[in-house]
Structure 1
Amino acid sequence: MSVGIVLVSHSPALAAATAELASSLAGAEVPIAPAGGTEDGGMGTSIDLISAAVTEADKGDGVLILMDMGSSVLTAKTLLADLEDEDNAPVVRLADAPFVEGAVAAAVLASTGADLEAVAHSAEQGWAMRKL
């Protein structure tokens, strides 16, 4: 098993493309679920889509959620608060990380069997990835 990853974006296309990129580098054993846009496919965020993605990505080792910006963070925080009230809720952690770089770093480390905290730390180190 490995840590699952949920990618929350305002854009369904961005969430799906980032999931595809991270999966191609980490391998199929890392469950990565995009949660982009609204239920009708529009721009925005949806707590229902995020919740479904968490369920899909949860394989028992915890789920890391990465968000793109703004209301995606607020929606993910709301879901986290809701999960606190549920029995047998999955272990979920939010990452303060750049969306694409963090997703790739998290997925690659998750493929090694690292635990949730290590995977989150790897994602958050994405802020230090310099391009020039």
Structure 2
Amino acid sequence: MSKKPVGIVIVSHIPEIAAGLATLLKEAAKDVSITYAGGTDDGEVGTSFDKMNAAIAENEADDLFAFYDLGSAKMNLEMAMEMSDKYIRLMDTAFVESAYTAAALIQADAELEEILKQLEPLKVK
């Protein structure tokens, strides 16, 4: 089966959190392209612009939801978004809950408007 037209990018300051959340989402959304960037280039706590660019580029979808854990991840994501030709929605929502909700809804072929409606109560900023 081919991947869904909408994908998800996960960004965390901790490599294991990014990888773990991606694993969780893939259990609920086997047909959704899910990529992630975690930690710095040295594997330390922090974020990496290059890792984010790679996660965006490697995602099979051209329409993406991007979820992040903390503020500096958002800043790097905003820069990476400017470098990409993909359409990326930067989600200021509860990290785990909203990423899981989006993945499950994309898997179920929910309309974009319904996904955004379901994520609205999870906004944190």
Q: Specify if TM > 0.5.
A: yes
Residue deviations 1:49-79 (CA, integer Å, cap 9, x gap): 111111222323x011001012001111111
Q: Which of residues 20, 24, 28 in structure 1 aligns to 2:23?
A: 20
Question: 2:58 aligns to what?
Answer: 56
Aligned mates of 2:6, 2:13 — CA distance in 1: 23
Q: Is the Cα–Cα contact under 8 Å of residues 8 and 66 in structure 1 kept in the other structure?
A: yes
Aligned mates of 2:59, 2:116 — CA distance in 1: 15
Q: How high is the sequence identity, in percent, across the aligned residues?
A: 37
Q: Is the Cα–Cα contact under 8 Å of residues 3 and 113 in structure 1 kept in the other structure?
A: no
Question: 1:3 aligns to what?
Answer: 6
The 1:39–1:107 alpha-carbon spacing in structure 2 relative to 1, beyond 3 Å, is same
Question: 1:80 aligns to what?
Answer: 81
Moved more, 11-20 or 118-127: 118-127
* Structure 1 moving runs of 4+ over 4 Å: 115-118
Q: Is the Cα–Cα contact under 8 Å of residues 92 and 123 in structure 2 kept in the other structure?
A: no
Structure 2 counterparts to residues 1-132 of structure 1, below 5 A:
1-26=4-29, 28-60=30-62, 62-83=63-84, 89-114=85-110, 116=112, 118-127=114-123
SS in 1 for 2:9: strand
Amino acid at match of 1:108: A
Count, aligned residues: 121
Residue deviations 1:5-29 (CA, integer Å, cap 9, x gap): 0110000001111111111122x21
With normalisation by structure 2, the TM-score equals 0.85
Aligned mates of 2:114, 2:55 — CA distance in 1: 21
With normalisation by structure 1, the TM-score equals 0.80
5+ residue gaps, structure 1, are 84-88
Q: Let me know the Cα RMSD of the aligned residues.
A: 2.0
